[in-house]
Amino acid sequence: MQREIFSEEHEAFRDTVRSFIAKEVAPFHEQWEKDGVVSRDVWLAAGRQGLLGIDIDEEYGGGGETDYRYYVVMNEELARAGVHGPGFAVHNDINGGYLGRLATDEQKRRWLPGYCSGEIITAIAMTEPSAGSDLQGIKTTAVKDGDDYVLNGQKTFITNGILSDLVIVVAKTDPEAGHKGISLLVVERGMIGFERGRNLDKIGLHAQDTAELYFDNVRVPKENLLGEEGEGFIYLMQNLPRERVTIGVTSLAGAEKAFEETVEYCRNREAFGRAIGRFQHNRFTLAEMKTELTIARSFTDRCVSEHVENRLGTEEASMLKWWNTELCNRVIDRCLQLHGGYGYMTEYPIAKAYLDARIQTIFGGTTEIMKEIIGRSLDV
């Protein structure tokens, strides 16, 4: 059934995404999981299909469509298919917001055509070994020297870290100025002193490349400063709500899919001569999950609508991110339990979902940080 927040055009786009996943992603994802990284071919295929840079101006090869709901559709379908390898959300939902809004005309001409075609894969480097949610605590520095910034530091847990051709790096250009001394610099593949560390070994999301990045006296031309110097922290705060909506959308879609598969399992799996879904405890468990998911869907769609209208506040985005990610882990955990011993076998989708979902409450700001943001808004 078509949801109220979507038009016929959105649903037609959903069909396109599903076909793309079936042809270009699903047949190869198991191998990508073994490789620890997807093929660049899937990025080029996404570019040809018009799935990258949907909200980028057509003159740069984008879709010229400013409606965030197209990204919602894409992220929902990737989550429902359980194919988290291609880091399209970081590229589209997060980095597209920075490049589309902050890049100069010259930077747009340089970067956006490749960004939209899939020839240029992007990442954003915020987290450091000693600084995660506390962005003001980063130690990476960028010191002016002539026409360049000299960049030094280390980043970790960077999605698309291995494949990325452009990395938006959060760095301190004025270490004495606190949050007003943070800027965004775009580091390009091949810059001397820019090195990638290992592809990190995670408990889930095995096909998604997540890397350590090192910057040793990397000379970044001033032409690669994104936005204004010293405004980086403000830009991050402005874009983080969209990132958190995206994570909330993805989490809920994954939980809904796990629930649907578990209901079907409970219809067909028998114990003591009857389907396990006919046991009252199991029915009650399913009823609880169905109710929680239905409530979350209503709030999520409302938040998406408000975000599209530029009315969504930081507090509500934090609520959505906190609630949906915790709900996702809770639902998938209970679904795994209902699968019994088979739920512990990685050949079953519920086991993979269990491992892939665990990160949701951590990246994009932990649950604890979300509660802190909400709590501060209460003025108590």
For residue 324 the two structure tokens come to 């949906």
Q: What is the pLDDT of residues 33-78, one digit of tens each?
A: 999 999 999 999 999 999 999 999 999 999 987 789 999 999 999 9
Residues 371 and 271 reside in one and the same domain: yes
User: What is the pTM (predicted TM-score) of this model?
Assistant: 0.95
Residues 224 and 256 reside in one and the same domain: no
Residues 355 and 249 reside in one and the same domain: yes
**1: pLDDT strictly greater than 80:** no
Which of 76, 64, 71 is closest to 91 using CA atoms? Answer: 71
Residues 239 and 353 reside in one and the same domain: yes
- pLDDT at position 178 is 86
Please say which residue of 230, 251, 278 terminates a domain. 230
| Active-site hit among 24, 76, 77, 243 | 243
Residue at 90 is within a domain? yes
Residues 143 and 110 reside in one and the same domain: no
**To the nearest whole percent, how much of the chain has pLDDT over 90?**
94
Residues 191 and 310 reside in one and the same domain: no
Residue 147, domain extent: 123-230
The position carrying tokens 């491992």 is 355
Q: Is 24 a catalytic residue?
A: no
**129: pLDDT strictly greater than 80:** yes
**132: pLDDT strictly greater than 80:** no
Residues 25 and 157 reside in one and the same domain: no
Residue at 3 is within a domain? no
Residue at 1 is within a domain? no
Residues 104 and 140 reside in one and the same domain: no
Q: Which range, of 80-89, 171-180, 190-199, averages the lowest pLDDT?
A: 171-180
272 dihedral zone (left: phi>0; alpha: psi -120 to 50; beta) = left
Alpha-carbon span 180 to 167, nearest angstrom? 21
Please say which residue of 211, 230, 249 terminates a domain. 230
Residues 272 and 362 reside in one and the same domain: yes
- pLDDT at position 133 is 72
Q: What is the pLDDT of residues 270-296, one digit of tens each?
A: 999 999 999 999 999 999 999 999 999
CATH no. for residue 200? 2.40.110.10
- pLDDT at position 136 is 78
Residue at 113 is within a domain? yes
Residue at 78 is within a domain? yes
Residues 254 and 359 reside in one and the same domain: yes
- pLDDT at position 379 is 84
In the chain, the number of structural domains is 3
Alpha-carbon span 309 to 302, nearest angstrom? 11
Q: What angle do CA 374, 376, 378 make, to 5 degrees?
A: 80
Residues 225 and 306 reside in one and the same domain: no
**108: pLDDT strictly greater than 70:** yes
Q: What is the pLDDT of residues 192-214, one digit of tens each?
A: 999 999 999 999 999 999 999 99
Residues with Cβ < 8 Å from 366, sequence gap 6 or more? 132, 133
**179: pLDDT strictly greater than 90:** no
Provide Rg for the chain, Cα atoms. Answer: 21
Q: Are 248 and 319 in contact (CB under 8 A)?
A: no
Which of 292, 293, 252, 287 is closest to 266 using CA atoms? Answer: 287
For residue 49 the two structure tokens come to 């299909």
Cβ atoms within 10 Å, residue 101:
12
CATH no. for residue 59? 1.10.540.10
Please say which residue of 53, 87, 120 terminates a domain. 120
